Amino acid sequence: MRYLEKVRIPEQYYSKTKEALYTVGVLALGICLGAFSKFLDFRQAELPGVLMLIDRALDVHNFLGAFAPWIVLAVFISIKSSSPIRAGINVFVLFVGMVTSYYLYSNFVAGFFPKS
């Protein structure tokens, strides 16, 4: 593990419980963002009033469909992690939560599941 500290010196080590809670929070964030992204894709024409105004002004559904916002979020999570290994785990958990909730929403709420 010493060779990884040459990449970046950890700010401080947290207890295993605190790191696990942080990872669970990142998973919850990934699940929420994946479901919200699919919600905007699927229900774009039927959004509630305020959300429709925000979407028209900022084009949120197309912005979240791009690659860059997710990379910025992953970099932020990795910077805030206590070690390089925890950074990898947290970013992986974020993307697993996002992809899982996106496709579960597609299958069970939207009623379709693309296989190709």
The mean pLDDT values, 10 residues at a time, for the chain of 116 residues are 65 81 96 87 69 71 74 91 89 95 86 71
Structural tokens at position 71? 């990379």
Structural tokens at position 53? 């105004």
pLDDT (0 to 100) of residue 61: 66
Is 22 within the bounds of a domain? Answer: no
Is 45 within the bounds of a domain? Answer: yes
d(CA 37, CA 98): 9
What is the number of structural domains in the chain?
1
pLDDT (0 to 100) of residue 29: 95
pLDDT (0 to 100) of residue 81: 87
Range of the domain at 61: 29-108
